[in-house]
Amino acid sequence: MELPGGPEADGLLAYVDAAPSPYHAVAAVRDRLREAGFTELEETAAWPAAPGRYVVLREGSLAAWSTEHLEAVGSAGSAGSAGGAGPATPFRIVGGHTDSPNLRVKPRPDLARLGWDQLALEVYGGPLLNSWLDRDLGLSGRVLVRDPGTAYGARALLWRHDEPLLRIPQLAIHLDRGVTEHGLTLNPQTHLVPVWGATGSAPDFRSWLAGELDLAPEAVLAWDLMTHDLTPAARLGRVQDLIAAPRLDNLASAYAGCRALIAACERRASGATGRTPYVPLLVLFDHEEVGSTTNRGGDSQFLPAVLERIVLARGGERADVLRALAGSLVCSADMAHAVHPNYAERLDPQHHVLVGGGPAVKVNSKARYASDATGIAAARLAAEQAGVGLQTFVSRGDLPCGSTIGPMTAALTGAITVDVGAPMLSMHSARELMAAADVPPYVALLTAFLAPA
């Protein structure tokens, strides 16, 4: 008997386990896209004019698209008209992010105190700090090592350590009797320093890391390394209808976006889409949890540059870029807050989002989400095409609202944008929760958005 959520839910579990860091997340998406016929491009190289499926990586970010259903440059009709199949063909974009709140290794992490070997960490984003206590933690990310044969003299290595390595021990209740009455207060500088030995001497992290990589210590130049919970993603519940996993915010959206792009390409290839041509594109950004203002974040030139290069490679000019953007639609895919059975009063009672009820469109009058009436209409039409329900999330008026890449993507591109997400609990915890049954409709909604009938 098929479990709730079926193969899509199981696929999400596998993807989360393969992606403990943003660098692993984009590598796992790239590998899946390669299997589906996508060709990887380099930003420093010229991009082909030939129609095809393409993917490009910028460190922890990724963009992938297909032009295989459009005419080759120089063929009849390639000049195109507004909304046509020429260089000014508009885009249908699904955007998400690859990073999640966690704890990251400092540049000089070696500590030894009172007989304990410790490793200095720094908080990344806005995690629920208590959720990282008393867990067996590994490390993952990338390491920059010397390589004279490269343009920069260094190359990045993906690396992960999946054996129990670190632990942040909580203070015993006997030494903090008031914690149950007044709540747990954690100082990020002093209380979130894990132990990883009891030799009483500060180990040389660089030397240890080099040994893990079979390199000399001087070969290790720098690292972007972060903690990850070692408990695998898993089904939960008496009928296995829940998913408990780290990084569901926002790897569930990255997975759904990847699956949707592949499905949209197959629909295009089979002729099962409408007459209006679009370029379906998936973009996954790093650094959303820390504001997105980096070389590869949602507030960077990564997406605008990719869009412009696609148009130019197809024989277009700057005016064609602007025409393409004017007709484009963006779906910002980021997880949504489900109503919590123990804290229902924290959410707007008119807009409760239920687990198992399918994806939700996210709306905020202060433009913390990009959704407006035009974008909401596009999402509803996609949901109707996919045959899935579409819930609506609105924050309480007396509580602050989070944000996504949606508003900045809308500002950078000028494209109509809508924010959607699948419902979940425990957002920003080291281990989060969602319904397995919400994975397939999330994929279906994004597929319909990328390939409208």
Last residue of a domain, one of 197, 230, 263: 230
Which of 81-90, 214-223, 273-282, 335-344 has the lowest average pLDDT?
A: 81-90
Q: Give yes or no: residues 70 and 139 share one domain.
A: no
The tens digit of pLDDT for each residue in 312-352 reads: 999 999 999 999 999 999 999 999 999 999 999 999 999 99
Q: Give yes or no: residues 88 and 112 share one domain.
A: no
Averaged over 297-312, what is the pLDDT? 98
Last residue of a domain, one of 230, 255, 281: 230
Averaged over 256-266, what is the pLDDT? 98
- Name the pairing type of β-strands 234-236 and 242-245: antiparallel
Does position 61 have pLDDT exceeding 50, yes or no? yes
Q: Give yes or no: residues 302 and 277 share one domain.
A: yes
Contact 438, 329 (CB under 8 A): no
Q: Is 241 part of any domain?
A: no
pLDDT at 270: 78
Does position 82 have pLDDT exceeding 50, yes or no? no
Q: Give yes or no: residues 126 and 38 share one domain.
A: no
Q: Is 260 part of any domain?
A: yes
- Name the pairing type of β-strands 137-146 and 416-421: unpaired
State both tokens at 313: 């490679």
Does position 73 have pLDDT exceeding 70, yes or no? no
235 sits in the region (left: phi over 0; alpha: psi -120 to 50; else beta) called beta
Does position 273 have pLDDT exceeding 90, yes or no? no
Q: Is 117 part of any domain?
A: yes
Q: Is 15 part of any domain?
A: yes
- Cα dihedral 398, 410, 281, 254, rounded to 10, equals -20
The tens digit of pLDDT for each residue in 348-393 reads: 999 999 999 999 999 999 999 999 999 999 999 999 999 999 999 9
pLDDT at 72: 56
Averaged over 279-304, what is the pLDDT? 97
The total number of residues shown for the chain amounts to 453
- Starting at the edge strand that comes first in sequence, how are the strands of the sheet with 220-229 ordered? 154-166, 137-146, 220-229, 102-113, 116-124, 195-197
Averaged over 129-153, what is the pLDDT? 97
CATH number of the domain at 119, please. 2.30.250.10
Q: Give yes or no: residues 303 and 439 share one domain.
A: yes
pLDDT at 75: 43
Does position 37 have pLDDT exceeding 90, yes or no? yes
Q: Give yes or no: residues 254 and 307 share one domain.
A: yes
Q: Give yes or no: residues 125 and 26 share one domain.
A: no
Last residue of a domain, one of 180, 203, 230: 230
Mean pLDDT, the chain, integer: 95
Does position 138 have pLDDT exceeding 80, yes or no? yes
Whole-number Cα distances in Å, 272 to 140, 329, 452 = 41, 20, 9
> Which residues on adjacent β-strands are paired with residue 140?
160, 226
Q: Give yes or no: residues 290 and 151 share one domain.
A: no
- Banded pLDDT at 290 (limits 50, 70, 90): very high
The count of structural domains within the chain is 2
Q: Give yes or no: residues 166 and 305 share one domain.
A: no
Contact 91, 415 (CB under 8 A): yes
Does position 76 have pLDDT exceeding 60, yes or no? no
- Alpha carbons 253 and 352: distance in angstroms, whole number: 20
User: Percent of the chain beyond pLDDT 90?
Assistant: 90
Biggest CA–CA distance in the chain, Å, is: 79
CATH number of the domain at 83, please. 3.40.630.10
pLDDT at 275: 63
Q: Give yes or no: residues 219 and 279 share one domain.
A: no
Q: Give yes or no: residues 137 and 166 share one domain.
A: yes
> Which residues on adjacent β-strands are paired with residue 197?
117
Q: Is 416 part of any domain?
A: yes
pLDDT at 83: 44
Q: Is 235 part of any domain?
A: no
Q: Is 221 part of any domain?
A: yes
Averaged over 304-314, what is the pLDDT? 98
Q: Is 236 part of any domain?
A: no
Q: Give yes or no: residues 285 and 416 share one domain.
A: yes
Does position 214 have pLDDT exceeding 70, yes or no? yes
Averaged over 60-70, what is the pLDDT? 95
The pairs formed by 262-271 with CB atoms below 8 angstroms and a separation of 24 or more are 262/32, 262/33, 262/36, 263/443, 263/447, 263/451, 264/66, 264/92, 264/447, 264/450, 264/451, 265/36, 265/37, 265/53, 265/66, 265/68, 267/447, 267/451, 268/66, 268/68, 268/69, 268/451, 269/68, 269/69
What are the b/e assignments for 390-423, b being 16+ CB within 10 Å?
bbbbbbeeeeebebbbbbbbbebbebbbbbbbbb
pLDDT at 47: 98
Does position 79 have pLDDT exceeding 60, yes or no? no
Contact 213, 139 (CB under 8 A): no
Does position 175 have pLDDT exceeding 70, yes or no? yes
- Give the residue numbers spanning the domain of 192: 102-230
Does position 84 have pLDDT exceeding 70, yes or no? no
The tens digit of pLDDT for each residue in 400-446 reads: 899 999 999 999 999 999 999 999 999 999 999 999 999 999 999 99
Does position 259 have pLDDT exceeding 60, yes or no? yes
State both tokens at 257: 């976006």
